Amino acid sequence: MAHKVFLLFLVFTSLLAIVTVALNGFGYYVTPTHMRQFREDFEMMKPSGNYSHGLGIVGASMIIIGVSGYSTRKRVKTFWTLGKLSRWLEIHIFLCLLGPVLVLFHTTFKAGGVAAISLWTMLSVSASGIIGRFLYAQIPKNLQGNELTAAQITGELDRLSVKLSSSPIGDQLTRTIYKSFESLPKPKSIWEAIATFVKLASLRRAIRRQARAMIAAKVHSHQEAHELQVTATAFASLIQKSLVLNQAGKLFYYWHAIHLPFTVIMFITLAAHVTVTMLLGYRWIF
Ligand code: HEM
Ligand code: HEM
């Protein structure tokens, strides 16, 4: 419940910020670039103006905090006890989605010079993050958000299967779940894996619906029904992930190999862009 409130807060804050900034500068952004200098708000709204310059600083700071915060939590042992890694990823995604949108408003939708490279790499990294997030979700993890080894996956499958088999309805659920996945062959190539990802999405929904109907028909205690539903969902999800584990792992590896260098290019060109603007004398409000 607390997690849902946290996610809702992030989504609501992002939407509120984007709608506010878009409405506030709407008139300026839809004015053709050669006509903008005749507007009253030009001095404030141009990329070096107090307002848009500020958006650039806030947006870039969000990206820097989002990347360094997540990387530090993930890689530096001292911080491993500081909350679940998956929560940090959610904060990474929040900051690194909202930050680029604010930077986009900072540019006032026109781009030239080295700043354009920073802009396009930033937008590519951010957009590719959505694919990364999808692949990340296919990799089985423990409660702390760390990847499970093959032995841990087998152990967890056994544990859930034993838990389900302790009641006749749970036993029936286990068989139904196994049977549903039997129809899906283990993918052998990346392309087969992509096709399997799509099929799995609808299969998972169908299994969840089927499990809910079976539980509702046989179990009358709310608590027991909830527990069965949670265990059956975790069991089905783990089988699903283990089906595509090899390919998801490979794709995730390639994705990292693109995401990281693009991030480096973005930060180098951002540093060049900020240096140039400072050399040109732009200082914002300081
Ligand atoms: C990833 C972050 C950023 C990107 C992608 C970005 C991109 C851009 C782009 C595309 C422009 C418009 C260039 C044009 O008029 O054709 C611009 C202008 C500008 N940016 Fe950024 N920017 C970023 C962050 C920053 C930051 C952090 C600062 C200040 C510390 C800054 C300061 C400026 C200034 C002063 C201008 C106006 C330059 C001029 O009119 O000559 N930007 N930026
Ligand atoms: C300008 C925007 C972004 C930048 C610069 C950025 C940068 C990075 C970097 C450097 C990493 C590697 C962290 C590490 O392993 O130490 C990373 C990981 C990741 N990012 Fe982003 N990111 C951005 C936006 C996004 C967005 C919008 C999403 C999702 C919608 C996303 C999802 C992910 C995921 C799933 C990982 C992998 C986590 C892991 O392997 O542990 N990123 N990002």
Quick: pLDDT tens for 31-81: 999 999 999 999 999 999 999 999 999 999 999 999 999 999 999 989 888
Per-residue confidence at 6, pLDDT binned at 50, 70, 90?
very high
Per-residue confidence at 218, pLDDT binned at 50, 70, 90?
confident
Tell me how far apart the alpha carbons of residues 128 and 120 are, in angstroms, rounded to a whole number: 12
CA of 263 to the centre of ligand 2 (A): 9
Is the shortest distance between the CB of 110 and ligand 1 below 6 Å?
yes
Least Cα distance to 97 among 61, 137, 127 occurs for: 127
Chain segment 238-255, per-residue pLDDT in tens: 888 887 887 888 889 999
In this structure, the number of other CB atoms found within 10 A of the CB of residue 67 comes to 18
Report angle CA 143, 130, 247 to the nearest 5 degrees. 70
Q: Please report which residue ranges of 138-189 form alpha helices under DSSP H.
A: 150-164, 168-182
Question: What are the E-state strand segments in the chain?
Answer: none
For the chain, the residue count is 286
187 burial level (CB within 10 Å; 0-12, 13-18, 19+): buried
Is the shortest distance between the CB of 123 and ligand 1 below 6 Å?
no
The answer to whether the beta carbons of residues 264 and 127 sit under 8 Å apart is no
Chain segment 107-137, per-residue pLDDT in tens: 999 988 889 999 999 999 999 999 999 888 8
CA of 55 to the centre of ligand 1 (A): 10
The answer to whether the beta carbons of residues 181 and 243 sit under 8 Å apart is yes
CA of 102 to the centre of ligand 1 (A): 11
In this structure, the residue with its CA closest to atom 41 of ligand 2 is 74
Is the shortest distance between the CB of 122 and ligand 1 below 6 Å?
yes
Chain segment 86-98, per-residue pLDDT in tens: 899 999 999 999 9
> Where does ligand 2 bind, in terms of residues with CB under 6 Å?
63, 67, 70-71, 74-75, 89, 92-93, 96-97, 100, 122, 125-126, 129-130, 132-133, 136, 259-260, 263, 266
